Structure 1
């Protein structure tokens, strides 16, 4: 669900101080965006929001969440509206966030 290789790579690239800031910004931004996902008026809007969330998720290693966003984005593009479950997307994010935060100290060197 979390791509720890990507997380380690990012942390090595930008350093621990900037990494902590990126994590904080990512979590704040995604939570701001995801709170309104169930209230979007069109599937085009939903597809655009899922595209944004997917990109953000991939940057920080939230692989499972990113895959679910991609599936939703693809479904929105095809007009398969019944195959998009915004609640599942929200749940996936919060599950990923819990795994990520819980694993940071165990998997990353300090």
Structure 2
């Protein structure tokens, strides 16, 4: 679900304070897109899934990234939609719980 090696590398690369900022920006932006999904989508499914995939990979959210990649590919043919958004949302919530628990001292 979480690539902890990636998380550690990112934290080491940017430092603890910047890591907290990066994490907060990731959460805010992801929740913004997920809110759009819940409201019916932005009409740009492929771009939205691509953006989420990139951010998720950067933060080590492997499962979210994989689901976004699958949905992005389906979006190219017009086949992505609410079911994909629901899967990504559920995975993000579960991943965030694991992420926060894994970061706890």
For normalisation by structure 2, the TM-score amounts to 0.89
Which structure has the larger Rg?
1
Counterparts of 2:22 and 2:79, CA distance in 1: 34
1:76 is displaced (CA, Å) by: 1.0
Q: Specify the alignment match of 1:9 in structure 2.
A: 9
CA-based RMSD of the aligned residues comes to 1.8
1:79 is displaced (CA, Å) by: 3.2
Q: What are the ranges of 5 or more consecutive residues in structure 2 without an aligned counterpart?
A: none
Secondary structure of residue in 2 paired with 1:51: helix
Q: Specify the alignment match of 2:79 in structure 1.
A: 80
Q: What are the ranges of 5 or more consecutive residues in structure 1 without an aligned counterpart?
A: none
Counterparts of 2:54 and 2:102, CA distance in 1: 21
Structure 1 residue runs of 4 or more that deviate by more than 4 Å after TM superposition: none
Assess if the C-alpha contact under 8 Å between 1:37 and 1:49 holds in 2: no
For normalisation by structure 1, the TM-score amounts to 0.85
- 1:47-83 CA-to-partner distances (Å, cap 9, x unmatched) read 110001001101100010000000000011133347x
Counterparts of 1:41 and 1:4, CA distance in 2: 31
Q: Does 1:49 align with 2:59?
A: no
The count of residues paired between Structure 1 and Structure 2 equals: 104
